[in-house]
């Protein structure tokens, strides 16, 4: 199991135990973490699972992928170099303890 | 012919026609609400279907959810460019070179990178902070409109509520002279009209009306460009580096895109939700017992209605979709109205269910870089409308058959008789 900590814009933390192999979007949706919508079901095609990867973790998750993930992030709000689509982060043992910060609202 | 007899005939025609003669672009299918039988057959027997002859020339139909997703997210191969025909099955609506039409470049009918620049110039209007600011304005207006309606008497819901509210919303977004707001409704209708469909009689008439619209918006631009930057859409376009130097045609194109995008769509979801609830008493009871279900009902209304039946692309290279080879230059139509009824992607897709687990997994907003920029605004408008309806009325009863629009693009209602029941 991989522990993921989702931190709401207001500071509330949701810690979730998820099986390795699923994505950070799926883990959030399955566990009812508010603020991650995942409208497209994981195709990097709606940008409603925008998260900021905590600076300590960005080296392990890597930056946003070239192609659709980057294109879709272009249209999200307040994007920076730590921005990712959670549906493109596949959980693994290496990401145990991952910290993802949520934007104000998905859009 | 009675509605029942007509529906029976359609079912048998949809089942009987040889596959290669099925043409789902015929606008009358949508006017009579019988397109579903044809799409059900295509999804089962030939989900990526080639129609060699139609009023719009040859085209491919993409009918299944996952294939639509594959086309929609592959903008490198499936182009939206206006010069190739744009995003509607009818080339004439957008392709400037066609006789009798006018060239109005707009970002939905562009590919990246130009699409991205122009879209980014307008997207702040629907950013979360701005939506929060708009919420009270919308609620106040919805309340005023609903309070003015007759209770216990039959009236037409479409002009009284759906058109009125979406038009008010547009006037607000554009900071358009409020008393003249019905001009926006007219221009929206004219923009997507083919001659003979009941809106305009000829391409010349359409062009003439759009030129009047151009003049009106040019004046608004001139006012805004000389004033300090404001938070309305025209001011945003006039001051953004990405859009302030665009041609007059490009400006009008983007304005019309936003008018149509914010008008026909939400308007028909406002009417569609009334119809869906009226026809599903069990769902009505669920909602009555728990008003909190509005949250999941809103995306379900948008799926069930699918206010835009299709989006079109043009292949820039050979590509394989669902086992078929689409050739460079082919016209490809993604039928959202079919993907939203795909039984392999959505459980009980023909049913209106207000408490689905993942109600937002539908195609009505499209996916990929052209995904509807105003999707959260649309949801907010519908949410407020239903919250305010439920405060006042125990039921919005549909008292007769609605009249549907004769169009393969805008899937909606020309009129819908209703009677309000007081709470």
Name which of A37, A48, A68 is nearest B73 (Cβ-Cβ).
Answer: A68
- DSSP run (H or E) holding A83: strand A83-85
Judge contact between B112 and B99, C-beta under 8 A: no
Judge contact between B75 and B111, C-beta under 8 A: yes
CB-CB neighbors (< 8 A) of A39 in chain B: 360-361, 365
CB-CB neighbors (< 8 A) of B69 in chain A: 40, 43, 45
**SS3 sequence, chain B?**
CCHHHHHHHHHHHHHHCCHHHCCCCCHHHHHCCCHHHHHHHHHHHCCEEEECCCCCCCEEEECCHHHHHHHHCCCCCEECCHHHCCCCCCHHHHCCCCCCCCCCCCHHHCCCCHHHHHHHHHHHHHCHHHHHHHHHHHHHHHHHHHHCCCCCCEEEHHHHHHHHHHHHHHHHHHCCCHHHCHHHHHHHHHHCCCCCCCCCCCHHHHHHHHHHHHHHHHHHHHHHHCCCCCCCHHHHHHHCCCCCCCCHHHHHHHHHHHHHHHHHHHHHHHHHHHHHHHHCHHHHHHHHHCHHHHHHHHHHHHHHHCCECEEEEEECCCEEECCEEECCCCEEEEEHHHHCCCCCCCCCCCCCCCCCCCCCCCCCCCCCCCCCCCHHHHHHHHHHHHHHHHHHEEEEEECCCCEECCCCCECCEEECEEEEEEC
Whether the upstream peptide bond of residue A93 has omega within 30° of 0, thus cis, is no
Domain range spanning residue B191?
3-422
Are A46 and B367 an interchain contact pair (Cβ–Cβ within 8 Å)? Answer: yes
Q: Give how far Cα B341 sits from Cα of B233, B264, B361, Å.
A: 35, 21, 12
What pLDDT score was predicted for residue B98? Answer: 45
Are A68 and B373 an interchain contact pair (Cβ–Cβ within 8 Å)? Answer: no
Cβ count within 10 A of residue A6: 24
A81 by DSSP, 3-state: which? coil
What pLDDT score was predicted for residue A105? Answer: 78
Task: Suggest the residue from B131, B360, B364, B380 to mutate for an interface test with chain A (most A CBs closer than 10 A).
Answer: B360
Name which of B358, B360, B368 is nearest A68 (Cβ-Cβ).
Answer: B368
Are A75 and B69 an interchain contact pair (Cβ–Cβ within 8 Å)? Answer: no
CATH for B159? 1.10.630.10
ipTM for the whole complex: 0.90
Quick one: closest CA in B to A105, which residue? B128
Quick one: closest CA in A to B113, which residue? A71
Are A74 and B368 an interchain contact pair (Cβ–Cβ within 8 Å)? Answer: no
CB-CB neighbors (< 8 A) of A10 in chain B: none
Are A41 and B361 an interchain contact pair (Cβ–Cβ within 8 Å)? Answer: yes
Q: Does residue A11 carry a pLDDT above 60?
A: yes
CB-CB neighbors (< 8 A) of B112 in chain A: 71
Backbone angles phi, psi at B152, to 5 degrees: 85, 0
Percent of chain A with pLDDT over 90: 86
Min Cα distance A24 → chain B (Å) is 17
What pLDDT score was predicted for residue B102? Answer: 65
Cβ count within 10 A of residue B375: 21
Judge contact between B74 and B337, C-beta under 8 A: no
Judge contact between B99 and B200, C-beta under 8 A: no
What pLDDT score was predicted for residue B7? Answer: 60
CB-CB neighbors (< 8 A) of B125 in chain A: none
Min Cα distance A62 → chain B (Å) is 22
Q: Which of B400, B422, B397 shows the shortest CA–CA distance to B413? A: B400
> Rg for chain B (alpha carbons), in Å?
21
Name which of A68, A74, A107 is nearest B116 (Cβ-Cβ).
Answer: A74
CB-CB neighbors (< 8 A) of B369 in chain A: 71-72, 74-75
Are A45 and B376 an interchain contact pair (Cβ–Cβ within 8 Å)? Answer: no
Residues, chain A, total? 107
Judge contact between B188 and B255, C-beta under 8 A: no
Q: Does residue A67 carry a pLDDT above 50?
A: yes
CB pairs under 8 A between A and B: 54
What pLDDT score was predicted for residue B327? Answer: 98
What pLDDT score was predicted for residue B11? Answer: 72
Min Cα distance A36 → chain B (Å) is 12
Min Cα distance A77 → chain B (Å) is 7
The pLDDT tens digits of the residues spanning A13-30 come to 999 999 999 999 999 999
B338 CB-near residues (< 8 Å, 6+ apart): B24, B39, B42, B43, B61, B63, B64
What pLDDT score was predicted for residue B12? Answer: 85
Are B128 and A37 an interchain contact pair (Cβ–Cβ within 8 Å)? Answer: no
Residues of B at the A interface, defined by Cβ within 8 angstroms:
69, 72-73, 112, 116, 119-120, 123, 126-129, 131, 358, 360-361, 365, 367-369, 371, 373, 376
Min Cα distance B9 → chain A (Å) is 37
CB-CB neighbors (< 8 A) of A107 in chain B: 126-128, 131, 376
User: What CATH topology corresponds to A2-101?
Assistant: Ubiquitin-like (UB roll) (3.10.20)
Are B360 and A37 an interchain contact pair (Cβ–Cβ within 8 Å)? Answer: yes
Are B369 and A71 an interchain contact pair (Cβ–Cβ within 8 Å)? Answer: yes
What pLDDT score was predicted for residue B103? Answer: 72
* DSSP code at position A6: E
Count of structural domains within chain B: 1
Mean pLDDT by 10-residue block, N- to C-terminus, for chain B (423 residues)? 56 90 97 96 98 97 98 96 92 57 80 89 82 90 97 97 94 92 91 82 90 94 93 88 87 87 91 98 98 98 98 98 97 98 97 96 96 93 98 97 94 97 94
């Amino acid at each position: 199991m991989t522990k993921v900590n989702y931190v709401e814009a207001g500071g509330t933390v949701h810690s979730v135990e998820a099986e390795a192999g699923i994505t950070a979007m799926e883990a959030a949706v399955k566990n009812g973490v508010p603020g991650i919508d995942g409208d497209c079901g994981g195709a990097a095609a709606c940008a409603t699972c925008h998260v900021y990867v905590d600076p300590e973790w960005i080296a392990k998750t890597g930056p946003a992928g070239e192609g659709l993930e980057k294109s879709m992030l272009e249209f999200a709000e307040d994007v920076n170099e730590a921005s990712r689509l959670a549906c493109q982060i596949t959980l693994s043992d290496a990401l145990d303890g991952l910290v993802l910060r949520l934007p104000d609202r998905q859009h | 012919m009675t509605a029942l007899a007509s529906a029976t005939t359609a079912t048998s025609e949809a089942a009987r026609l040889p596959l290669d003669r099925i043409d789902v672009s015929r606008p009358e299918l949508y006017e009579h609400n019988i397109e579903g039988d044809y799409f059900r057959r295509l999804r089962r027997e030939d989900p990526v279907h080639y129609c060699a002859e139609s009023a719009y020339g040859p085209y491919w139909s993409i009918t299944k959810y996952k294939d639509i997703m594959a086309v929609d997210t592959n903008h490198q191969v499936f182009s939206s460019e206006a010069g190739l025909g744009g995003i509607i099955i009818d080339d004439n609506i957008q392709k400037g070179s066609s006789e009798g039409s006018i060239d109005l470049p707009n970002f939905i009918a562009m590919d990246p990178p130009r699409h991205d620049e122009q879209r980014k110039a307008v997207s702040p209007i629907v950013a979360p902070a701005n939506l929060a600011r708009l919420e009270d304005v919308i609620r106040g207006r919805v309340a005023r409109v609903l309070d003015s309606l007759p209770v216990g008497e039959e009236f037409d819901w479409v002009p009284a509520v759906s058109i009125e509210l979406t038009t008010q919303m547009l006037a607000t977004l554009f900071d358009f002279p409020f008393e003249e707001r019905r001009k926006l409704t007219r221009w929206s209708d004219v923009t997507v009209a083919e001659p003979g469909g009941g809106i305009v009689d000829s391409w010349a008439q359409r062009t003439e009306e759009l030129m009047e619209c151009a003049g009106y918006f040019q004046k608004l631009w001139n006012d805004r460009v000389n004033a300090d930057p404001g938070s309305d859409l025209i001011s945003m376009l006039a001051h953004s580096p990405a859009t302030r130097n665009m041609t007059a045609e490009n400006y009008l194109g983007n304005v019309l895109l936003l008018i149509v995008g914010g008008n026909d769509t939400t308007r028909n979801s406002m009417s569609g939700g009334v119809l869906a609830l009226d026809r599903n008493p069990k769902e009505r009871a669920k909602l009555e017992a728990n008003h909190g279900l509005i949250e999941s009902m809103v995306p379900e209304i948008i799926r069930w209605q699918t206010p835009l039946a299709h989006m079109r692309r043009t292949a820039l290279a050979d590509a394989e979709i669902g086992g078929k080879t689409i050739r460079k230059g082919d016209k490809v139509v993604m039928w959202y109205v079919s993907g939203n009824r795909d039984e392999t992607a959505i459980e009980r897709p023909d049913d209106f269910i207000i408490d689905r687990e993942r109600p937002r997994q539908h195609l009505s907003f499209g996916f990929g870089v052209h995904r509807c920029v105003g999707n959260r605004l649309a949801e907010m408008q519908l949410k407020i409308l239903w919250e305010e309806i439920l405060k006042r009325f125990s039921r919005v009863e549909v008292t007769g058959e609605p009249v549907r629009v004769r169009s393969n693009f805008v899937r909606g209602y020309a009129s819908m008789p209703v009677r309000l029941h007081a709470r």
